Every structure is written in C-alpha cells, then in structure tokens.
Amino acid sequence: MKKVFMVILVTCISVLVIFTGTSFIYAETAAVSIDIKPGIDNLTNPINLKSKGVVPVAVFSTAVEGVLTFDATTIDPASVIFAGASPVKWASEDVNLDGWLDMVFFFNTQSLALGSDSTSATLTANTIDAGGNITGTISGTDSVKIVPIKGAAAPTTVPKPKKSK
C-alpha cells in the first residue's frame, strides 16, 4: 500500500497529513529542545562556514516529573534536516546527563544553508514508531554566530622598503 505524505502550513503551525489509503492522521509539529555544538559552554554557537568539519546538533529527550514526554530516539534520521542539510551520521547518547537518551546528528559544515548574517538555525524531522510509521513532526531552533576563518587576519598594509644609504 503506497503512502502519500504532505505537509501543510496553517497560520505558522505545521500540520503533518498522512494518508494511509484508509484514513488520515493529523499531527502538529512539536517544539523540541536542541543544542548546536553540545558541550560547548557558549550561547552563540560559533560556526565557520568554510570549515571542512561537521557541526553536531543534539535533540534532547524531555521528561516531566520522571515521565518521558518526548523520546528523541524516535526521530527518523532519514527525515532530519538542519539548516537545509541532511546528517552524515548520528548517535544516541545521554548528552545532558538527565538519564534519558538524546540524539546527536552531525552535519557537514559546508552543506549548511546559512549566510554570514544568520543568527539561528532550525532542525526539523519526523518521529516514527517501532514499525517505521510516521507518528509526528518536530522542530527545534538554536542560535548561531557565523565567524571568520581561523587565522585569517584583517588586511594590512605592506611596509614600504627602507631606502638604503
């Protein structure tokens, strides 16, 4: 049975519409907490767009009074998009040491659709159940600061050669 997926944006609220052939399932996009460059104690999350490395982005599982309210391990890695890029690898680990597994996705820096004036970046994805069926969509945003290439100095004037006597 072929599934048809479409995303409808209604007054700034994303709604996932899934047609399974016999029924429709509607799911609003859930806001999730993400951390660009987890472990770095820096609110600006500096990114050098010329870097040939990767940018890690953590998506946190959340719990209220010990009850899991969002399980990050239900994210479908094939659906993840961060700043226009797909992840090159991912892992589950307890990033924030709260006892719940989180997901960390890694993106090639040069694949990110960010500009020199970008101040935030968003990750979106679908969540799935054990059978691989889409159960919802998520979105999370964090701040970024685009920085110049390390070691790149501001242009300087070349000293004029001294006249010999």
CATH of the domain at 70: 2.60.40
> Is 153 domain-assigned?
no
Give the pLDDT of residue 138: 98
> Is 4 domain-assigned?
no
Q: What share of the chain is helix, strand, coil (3-state, %, to 5)?
A: 5, 45, 50
> Is 79 domain-assigned?
yes
What does DSSP assign to residue 90?
Answer: E
> Is 7 domain-assigned?
no
Give the pLDDT of residue 12: 35
- pTM assigned to the model: 0.76
> Is 110 domain-assigned?
yes
For residue 126, the enclosing domain spans 29-146
Tell me how many domains the chain contains.
Answer: 1
> Is 162 domain-assigned?
no
> Is 15 domain-assigned?
no
Give the pLDDT of residue 20: 47
Q: How many CB atoms lie within 10 A of CB 59?
A: 26
> Is 156 domain-assigned?
no
147, 118 Cβ separation under 8 angstroms:
no
Give the pLDDT of residue 13: 38
Residues 77-130: tens digit of each pLDDT: 999 999 999 999 999 999 999 999 999 999 999 999 999 999 999 999 999 999
